[in-house]
Amino acid sequence: MEHQHHNASSPKPHLDVGVDTTIYGADGPHHAHSIYGGDHEHDGDFLTELENNRLQRGLHQRHIQMIAIAGAIGTGLFLGLGSSIQTGGPLGALLGYATVGLIVCAVQFALGEVAALLPVTGSFVRHAEFLVDPALGFAIGWNIVYGNLLSVPAEISAICVLFQYWTDINSALFICIFILITFLVGISFVGIYGEVEFWFAVLKILLVIFLIIFGLVVDLGGVPGVDRIGFRYWKNPGPFVEHIATGRWGEFLGYWSVMTSAVFSFAGVESLAMAAAETHNPRRNIPKACKKVFARVLIFYVLAVLIVGMIVSSADPRLGEYTGNAAMSPFVIVASSAGIRAIPSIVNAVVITSAWSSSNQALLSGTRVLYGLAIKRQAPAIFLRTTSWGVPYVCVCFNTCFMFLAFMSLSSSAMTVFYWLVDLTAAGVLVSWSCILFNHTRLCAAMRKQGISRRELPFYNSWTQYSSPAALVMCQVILWTGGFSVFTKGGWDAATFVSAYLDIPLVTAAFLLWKFVIKKTKVVDLSTLPIRAALDQVAANPEPPEEELGKNRWRFARFLWD
């Protein structure tokens, strides 16, 4: 057992005995209580004996860093940048992604600080119960579960479209294949999932680096038969594009539209702490991953947006053609114009791995949040059953049943219904980021009220107590204005309205239902939060010192993840 694991004999200052929960492993039923204990409001918010003994720590630092990178670098980067350039112009798109990148920075550091103190399964969902209100954890948790139940079949459907770029084989075959292999990865030891995501992320990073260099070569006239472009497209048609309105206001709306779409491109960076109880030395590795993932993702996106804005004109009509495969990538558009035939297939292949990687990540996130909800008795206890190698197999099987919704994409009418269901949680990214930032803001407020220095946290930064509230305001502004185009004259679109706003009443209804009808919960009193007890447990259970990387022949490549 790892040094950072807590055992039932650990001291429990200020806390009563935790919740007695029947759990099921491969060898039958057991009883578990919170390792740290807890009163009524906090049962199971600290690492529980169930997580400590039933889940296996199979994820290392390189795994969780790459899980977040793999989730953030996907179709939004490879295929979606063209529409951002078309909407906001090269400078508008660059500013939009840079702005959201700063918000992601605040989210990552806020998550790192709270997760280092409370490295539990379900991450910020459980943090919300502990720091805000159990009803908030219930609402956010089931919103994430629902979103991920539909994300997996949606990604599998996208894979079918990508394969159609090469072949006319019936999509049902690819649906069956990817349902099977996604299930096998999900039911396997979590370390296998970590390795799969690690190598997929390496492929994505290498492709991004290649495309950035390729774009720079094209821009500088390094491809025979292609003139030097430079910043030609920044001058004509210009750095900004008018969107909906005209003049400066129209240019601002173009920038704002890019920012709302950029949020969904960065989606996934928050998932790296979902399996904190299955991560080696989480108090050190999760904050470390949060810091480094932010830098890598922001650099990749900003450089990619800059290069795309240089090599493709915002007035190019091909940017507005939606095909769902590599043909809509701005890099492919440029490569096709330059007569380079290999790049479209390379991009399409890596985007397929991106889509499957996203489905794996959605399965992990959905199952671990569902498992965390079951710990809190906010989901049926059957979801607590685990395999002998520490995987919540009932959660995995439950999620797998919904993968078969991907077959709805074979019918045009059924596909319309399916994507309406998917659209219901499209704003879930901003809801999740808001939750992370609010959790951190509450933690800072509680520590001030109790006279506890933030320097005592396992991981802290002096500026995060200011960046979290500011980023929270920005998230809320983007959330409530994300569908502004539907309120303009002649701009009404039902699908856009649903994807932009209907997640808000869904989460609100779940919160009110649990708070006032089912459990009648109360907002947690900041003065009674057992922060001192959690800090004492951190001190009583130190993690082993970080191992030296050592000098070996692979050290030169470690810049990718370390």
Expressed as residue numbers, the domain containing 372 is 55-531
For residue 373, is it within any domain? Answer: yes
Residue 350: C-alpha distances to residues 178, 184, 193 (Å):
15, 21, 18
Say what the pLDDT of residue 102 is. 92
Q: How many distinct structural domains can be found in the chain?
A: 1
Say yes or no to pLDDT of 144 above 60.
yes
- Mean pLDDT of all residues in 332-359: 84
Say what the pLDDT of residue 202 is. 85
Say yes or no to pLDDT of 274 above 90.
no
> Which residue(s) pair with 21 in the sheet?
32
For residue 13, is it within any domain? Answer: no
pTM here? 0.85
> Which residue(s) pair with 34 in the sheet?
48
Among the listed residues 303, 285, 267, 381, the one whose alpha carbon sits nearest the alpha carbon of residue 20: 381
Say what the pLDDT of residue 42 is. 42
Percent of the chain with pLDDT over 90: 28
Residue 546: C-alpha distances to residues 280, 288, 521, 542 (Å):
11, 12, 41, 12
Residue 345: C-alpha distances to residues 213, 215, 274, 309, 336 (Å):
18, 17, 33, 22, 11
Higher pLDDT residue, 278 or 354?
354
Which tokens sit at 168? Answer: 């006319």
Say yes or no to pLDDT of 384 above 60.
yes
Q: What confidence category does residue 26 fall into, taking pLDDT thresholds of 50, 70 and 90?
A: very low
Q: What confidence category does residue 362 fall into, taking pLDDT thresholds of 50, 70 and 90?
A: confident
For residue 73, is it within any domain? Answer: yes
Give the containing element (helix H, strand E) for 194: helix 190-219
Among the listed residues 518, 424, 384, the one whose alpha carbon sits nearest the alpha carbon of residue 147: 424
> 219-233, 355-369, 394-408: which has the highest mean pLDDT?
394-408
pLDDT tens track for 93-122? 999 999 999 999 999 999 999 988 888 878
For residue 393, is it within any domain? Answer: yes
- Mean pLDDT of all residues in 175-202: 88
Say yes or no to pLDDT of 14 above 50.
no
The span from the CA of 91 to the CA of 94, in Å, is: 5
Q: What is the CATH number of the domain that holds 433?
A: 1.20.1740.10
Secondary structure class of 420 (helix, strand, coil): helix
For residue 186, is it within any domain? Answer: yes
- Mean pLDDT of all residues in 190-202: 84
Say yes or no to pLDDT of 34 above 50.
no
Say yes or no to pLDDT of 465 above 50.
yes
Give how far the C-alpha of residue 491 lies from the chain's centroid of Cα atoms, to the nearest Å: 30
The dihedrals phi and psi of 237, each to the nearest 5 degrees, come to: -80, -5
The count of C-alpha atoms lying within 13 angstroms of the C-alpha of 532, restricted to the half-sphere facing its C-beta, is 11
- Contact between 382 and 29 under an 8 Å Cβ cutoff? The reply is no
Say what the pLDDT of residue 27 is. 43
Q: What confidence category does residue 134 fall into, taking pLDDT thresholds of 50, 70 and 90?
A: very high
DSSP state of 543: P
Say what the pLDDT of residue 478 is. 93
Percent of the chain with pLDDT over 70: 84
- Mean pLDDT of all residues in 116-144: 90
For residue 162, is it within any domain? Answer: yes
- 3-state secondary structure labels for all residues of 264-293: HHCCCHHHHHCEHHHECCHHHHHHHHHHHH
- 3-state secondary structure labels for all residues of 99-140: HHHHHHHHHHHHHHHHHHHCCCECCHHHHHHHHCCHHHHHHH
- Contact between 499 and 483 under an 8 Å Cβ cutoff? The reply is yes
Q: What confidence category does residue 330 fall into, taking pLDDT thresholds of 50, 70 and 90?
A: confident
Say yes or no to pLDDT of 389 above 90.
no
For residue 118, is it within any domain? Answer: yes
Q: What confidence category does residue 402 fall into, taking pLDDT thresholds of 50, 70 and 90?
A: very high
Say yes or no to pLDDT of 237 above 70.
yes
Secondary structure class of 541 (helix, strand, coil): coil
- Mean pLDDT of all residues in 338-364: 85
Which tokens sit at 484? Answer: 């502004």
The dihedrals phi and psi of 121, each to the nearest 5 degrees, come to: -65, 135
The span from the CA of 209 to the CA of 455, in Å, is: 38
Say yes or no to pLDDT of 199 above 80.
yes
The span from the CA of 158 to the CA of 355, in Å, is: 7
Say what the pLDDT of residue 277 is. 66
- Contact between 100 and 231 under an 8 Å Cβ cutoff? The reply is no
Give how far the C-alpha of residue 541 lies from the chain's centroid of Cα atoms, to the nearest Å: 29
Which stretch of 16-30, 146-160, 280-294, 496-510 has the lowest confidence by average pLDDT?
16-30
pLDDT tens track for 489-514? 888 888 888 888 988 999 999 999 99
Q: What confidence category does residue 11 fall into, taking pLDDT thresholds of 50, 70 and 90?
A: very low
The span from the CA of 165 to the CA of 350, in Å, is: 13
Say what the pLDDT of residue 534 is. 87
For residue 493, is it within any domain? Answer: yes
Say yes or no to pLDDT of 382 above 70.
yes
The span from the CA of 174 to the CA of 181, in Å, is: 11
The span from the CA of 155 to the CA of 356, in Å, is: 7
